[in-house]
Amino acid sequence: MRKKAGLALVLSFWLLSFFGGYFLLAQTGKPKVVFKETQFDFGKIKQGEVVIHEFIFRNEGQSPLKINRVTTSCGCTAALVSEKEIAPGKEGRLKVTFDSHGYSDKVVKYIYFDCNDPETPQVELIITATVEVGPAARIELDRYNLDLGISLEGEEASAKFTVKNTGQLELEIDTESPEYSFYVHGRKISFPYRIPAGQSVEFEVRLPAKEGHVGLLRDYLLIKSNDPVRSTLSVFISRYVITREDLRKLFEKYGKVLGIK
């Protein structure tokens, strides 16, 4: 009887140790994220299309997989995970949406999947697409920075830049800088201004005088157009404004050197 009791005790202890260890392993095991694919190509799409793809992943670990966050490389791409926690052996889905407005040709975007997998805490996913654009206006500027040099306080300053329409349709441009004046061939113009396909126009922009503002001044000009890819462009303008007294001192100091009497 004592032998049987001892054997039963040993067997009970062994079973308890085995199942207890198994239970402990199941509780303390690591999650493991595995994606069926980490890249997807939408192929050729029309500009303006909004396309969707689902990345499927699985928790092949022994404890719950927790998704900490999902981020994308730009605002044109959105990502939404089906669940924030995936049990061992279960699948999850990551829905990715790409808005092709304003894009053309080959596009590559990235999605970053952060989770509690200790071996793979972040998975980088990639989506690609070739965005096809039909006939449209295309805006090109000859410069994006205008340096007006030195100007006198209280006087108007001006600079020139060229806009070219490299597209197949008429280009229509406008500006959100009503304080500036614009001229073409010496004549003041109003907006919207239209440029036929394949042609270019030189604009003169005149900046109003700024009383009481001296030193380095920086401004910017916003140009809007019907170009579906580049609908808004920024042109940065800089100038150094001096007072009449500063100008007089400069003449006194450097007049002889420059041969100015």
Chain segment 90-119, per-residue pLDDT in tens: 999 999 999 998 888 899 999 999 999 999
| Residue 116 lies in domain | 33-132
Question: Of 82, 109, 132, at which residue does a domain stop?
Answer: 132
| pLDDT on residue 90 | 96
Chain segment 172-197, per-residue pLDDT in tens: 999 987 788 999 999 999 999 999 99
Q: What residues contact 10, with CB distance under 8 A and at least 6 apart?
A: none
Q: Which residues of 188-213 are buried (b: 16+ CB within 10 A; e: fewer)?
A: eeeeebebeeeeebebbbebeebeee
Average pLDDT, the chain: 85
158 and 207 housed in the same domain: yes
**Could you give the CA distance from residue 213 to residue 201 in angstroms, rounded to a whole number?**
32
- Domain-embedded: residue 97: yes
128 vs 21, residue with greater confidence: 128
**Could you give the CA distance from residue 185 to residue 176 in angstroms, rounded to a whole number?**
22
**Could you give the CA distance from residue 193 to residue 224 in angstroms, rounded to a whole number?**
11
- Domain-embedded: residue 22: no
Q: Which residues of 116-146 are buried (b: 16+ CB within 10 A; e: fewer)?
A: bbeeeeebebebebebebeebbbbeeeeeeb
179 vs 143, residue with greater confidence: 143
237 and 151 housed in the same domain: yes
47 vs 249, residue with greater confidence: 47
Cβ pair 193, 173 in contact under 8 A: yes
78 and 97 housed in the same domain: yes
Chain segment 201-251, per-residue pLDDT in tens: 999 999 887 777 788 888 889 999 999 888 899 999 998 888 877 777 776
- Domain-embedded: residue 254: no
CA angle 206, 210, 212 (to 5 degrees): 165
- Tokens 């500063």 sit on residue: 246
Give pTM, 2 decimals: 0.58
